[in-house]
Structure 1
Amino acid sequence: MGPLQIKEILQATPENQPITLKGWVRTKRESKNAIFIALNDGSTIHNIQAVAEPGQFSDELMQSVTTGSCLKIDGQLVESQGSGQVVEVKVNAIEVYGTADPEVYPLQPKKHSLEFLREIAHLRPRTNTFSAILRIRHALAFAVHQYFNDKGFFYLHTPVITASDAEGAGEMFRVTTLDLNKLPRTEEGAINFKEDFFGRETNLTVSGQLEGELGAMALSKIYTFGPTFRAENSNTTRHLAEFWMIEPEMAFFELEDNMDLAEDFVKKVITYALINCKDDLNFLQNRLADEEKSKPQNERSLPLLEKLSFVVDNPFERLTYTEAIDILLKSKPHKEKKFQYQVGWGIDLSSEHERYLVEKHFKKPVILTNYPREIKSFYMKLDEDGKTVRAMDVLFPGIGEIIGGSQREENYEKLLGRVNEVGIDPQNLWWYLETRQFGTAPHSGFGLGFERLVQFVTGMGNIRDVIPFPRYPKSAEF
């Protein structure tokens, strides 16, 4: 089973019992009467203090005990004599597994910028900030699976390699085994993908939704949770080229059911983190508060735990896109021309519009529905007016849209019409269209970018800091 983790040891009752620690040195501090070694193994934000006596070990051994070195320490668990911790370990023996030369080890006990830490993504999980983020990321992922399992959903693995473009965006990474120096050509001079591995053009998926709908048409309730890819050349704090998507699809769910599920889902998952990640969230809240001190008072965001409670404790306000546009048109920022982007029926709402509705007008999370058909995807069910679709977006404070979904169009003729309208070749989606001919049913679903959720829960300002090894333009180092 391996040694006890530091998280477990810190919760034990100190009875001078023998204990073994294994972990990485965060700090070493020497005084006239003792040598204090702070050790961490990643199981908790808290270090455990190991105390040795001066002269107890050779100078050569102690010189190798530096920040970043990995140790095994045998000793006795005793009540701490100092403040800041309940227990500590009286050291009997030290074994150095791996040294870290302080002249070159980049993670010294000082504040490092997030930009610098991205350059050493192989080491940044050893910092307090990133170990906390990764533990919270794990807790949220576990909560996602637990939630859907308990609700009777089946976990469906959808393809990573696909010949379809679910969003119709065209910003996809191509998958090929062709020799790029000797590309086969057709008589017309185009690349002959019939010579490729799959005999056709293929890409990394942007969404598992379309295949997820196929599963829902047999299993009733499924969810996907897997990597997705967008070749969008966006160097922003909100975009990644590789990210994880959570996409439930439900047969017999209409728009109201979809909204009910989305609201319950995010509340339950965030509540799980609040209950099980208290120490990490408190640490990140304090970190965020330090950052906020440099901002003007009117630009400061809610304290992290208050922001999470804002979502968990409030019923989500539900209104149509048209109603939201009316509110924005009557708003003070619009009248005083303080919005950066124009407001009008038919626009794709920007983050500033969404945040105004959440943070200023309703002061609670918002679900917007029934968007104009022109700004939404082809698969969304048309409303009776022919102008809007049964879409829904969930809007959060500080971030704007966090979930996008809809009731799907189950009528074959209407769906085919929309496919043609947006310029997709129906032959490329014959299998998707065919489900509307063989036992079609009302069905709905939504998508939640997992990193967007982790970013919200951790309070991090850049999405590149909530995934272990971020992929973005000109960056695939690790």
Structure 2
Amino acid sequence: MKIIDIYKQFKELKKEITVIGRVRSNRQGKAVSFLVLDDGTYAKDLQIVYKPETKGFNEFLETRVGAIVSIKGLIVETPNRPQPFEISASEVLLLDNCAEEYPLQKKEHTMEYLREIPQLRARAKTFQSTFRIRSAASFAIHEYFVKNNFVYVHTPIITENDAEGAGEAFVVTTRKDAKYDQDFFGKKASLTVSGQLNAEALAQAFNSVYTFGPTFRAENSHTNRHASEFWMVEPELAFSDLNDDIQVIEGLIKHVIKYVLENNLEDLKYCESFYEEGLVDRLSKISNDNFEKVTYTEAIDILIKASKKVKFEESKIEFGIDLATEHERYICEKHFKKPVFVTDYPKEIKSFYMKLNDDGKTVAATDLLVPGIGELVGGSQREDSYDNLIKRCNELKINPEDLKWYIDLRKFGYFKSAGFGLGFERLVMYLTGAKNIRDVIPFPRTPKNLLF
């Protein structure tokens, strides 16, 4: 049996069971020995009690931390102890021992040390809970969109466009020179930074679609919120405006939180003990609370007033600035104390594809700011005017011919569209309380770091 199933059924299990797992600790005594077993399926370990008369005892004496063992025995309830039950072993079997130099001994390890051994760190309780939550959140995302009649689509990993226009893409090439016209695709190709533009085209066919896959940014950033390879959730809603977009964002975030609370509560409690005190209460409150909504202009006013009492590192606060993380966190953590949608940003700090508002200065865009992280989601209503889109491309020195297929969608029946991008690792950080993006993805890729 798996440990998760044993915990769910232990009151009804009256016969001998067999469980296979990895040894976390093995404390041997003359009369009785205690072994702590883990098989990766649950946040709680299994305590095994075995004695010299237990079958296989002598061969079991050399069992070390990290070894794989098989245990057969009966469940004995222990209501007056921290664990509700233990296994009284009738047979113990060492299946494969572990080398003495096993890096994960029963002691505290720093996160920096564990990042150097990503092939082993998933066995540590912190990372087991983190990655089980990551798995549950993945499922919940798919569940939400399927229940709301979105079509799951796969957009290209190799692409010719940089959707954000930032030029921070990894080049895909077979050549040692820069003669891309002679390259495999006959032009310059890159790893995708976003599936959005392709998703827009597909939304016009299916009404509502979403992508969920890896994206890549060649951004030389060493912050705790940036990685070179990460996963993005990118829905696209045809015939929809910014308000529709905001409703879907809030619905998705709340659905994921509720799913994880219902299905991974023990993992959340472990993360609470390791990462963030009060994590479960925070998530529970957010899942039942309404998110706030303010315009960018209102947010700037809030920050200007706050700057008279609060010392911001980025002290120049005026209309037109790109909000720094400290500004974002002040708005959602200190001022509103809840997730906040900031809307209608200046067009100069947003992407070319965002719909120009009637004031000619701002675009129909929104960022969802959440406590502890800052920006979690970025979305917008897409520009539906062919002429305005051409104009924006020219203003930003983007060659419209390079995006002709995308811009021409406006010629062929295009009535409003909206969408957003959710950084999945940032969501997992928000769910677990983890402080570094490197700790919520199994094998992180960051500048100067390509282990495994």
Specify the TM-score bucket, using the shorter chain as the normaliser: over 0.9
**Which letter does structure 2 place at the counterpart of 1:46?**
K
Partner of 1:338: 311
1-structure distance, mates of 2:8, 2:414? 55
What secondary structure does 1:368 align onto? strand
1-structure distance, mates of 2:80, 2:22? 21
Shift in Å, 1:84: 2.4
The reply to whether residue 471 of structure 1 matches residue 445 of structure 2 is yes
Partner of 1:319: 294
Matches within 5 A, 1:228-247: 228-247=215-234
Shift in Å, 1:315: 1.1
**Which letter does structure 1 place at the counterpart of 2:256?**
V
**Which letter does structure 2 place at the counterpart of 1:339?**
F
Partner of 1:293: none
2-structure distance, mates of 1:95, 1:195? 61
What secondary structure does 1:405 align onto? strand
Asked whether the 8 Å contact 2:49–2:87 carries over to 1, the reply is yes
**Which letter does structure 2 place at the counterpart of 1:307?**
R
Partner of 1:193: 180
Asked whether the 8 Å contact 1:317–1:366 carries over to 2, the reply is yes
**Which letter does structure 2 place at the counterpart of 1:335?**
K
Out of 367, 370, 374, the residue aligned to residue 341 of structure 2 is 367
Cα 1:303–1:78 change in 2 (3 A) is: closer
The reply to whether residue 154 of structure 1 matches residue 141 of structure 2 is no
- Corresponding pairs, count: 450
**Which letter does structure 1 place at the counterpart of 2:184?**
F
Partner of 2:92: 94
1-structure distance, mates of 2:172, 2:62? 47
Cα 1:150–1:81 change in 2 (3 A) is: closer
Instruction: Provide Cα deviations, 1:442-462, integer angstroms capped at 9, x if missing partner.
Output: 010011000000001100010
2-structure distance, mates of 1:337, 1:399? 19
Asked whether the 8 Å contact 1:14–1:87 carries over to 2, the reply is no
Partner of 1:209: 196
Asked whether the 8 Å contact 2:52–2:58 carries over to 1, the reply is no
Asked whether the 8 Å contact 1:310–1:364 carries over to 2, the reply is no
**Which letter does structure 1 place at the counterpart of 2:202?**
G
Partner of 1:351: 325
What secondary structure does 1:367 align onto? strand
Asked whether the 8 Å contact 2:60–2:92 carries over to 1, the reply is no
2-structure distance, mates of 1:269, 1:460? 17
Shift in Å, 1:96: 2.4
Partner of 1:136: 133
Shift in Å, 1:383: 0.5
Out of 36, 39, 55, the residue aligned to residue 34 of structure 2 is 36
Shift in Å, 1:60: 6.1
Q: Normalising by structure 2, report the TM-score.
A: 0.96
Partner of 1:422: 396
2-structure distance, mates of 1:151, 1:177? 42
Gaps of 5+ in 1: 184-190, 290-301
Shift in Å, 1:268: 1.2
2-structure distance, mates of 1:156, 1:288? 35
Asked whether the 8 Å contact 1:71–1:94 carries over to 2, the reply is yes
Partner of 1:163: 160
Partner of 1:18: 16
Shift in Å, 1:313: 2.5
Shift in Å, 1:58: 6.3
**Which letter does structure 2 place at the counterpart of 1:41?**
D
**Which letter does structure 1 place at the counterpart of 2:386?**
Y
Shift in Å, 1:87: 2.6
Partner of 1:437: 411
Partner of 2:172: 175
Cα 1:244–1:15 change in 2 (3 A) is: closer
Partner of 1:120: 117
2-structure distance, mates of 1:237, 1:310? 26
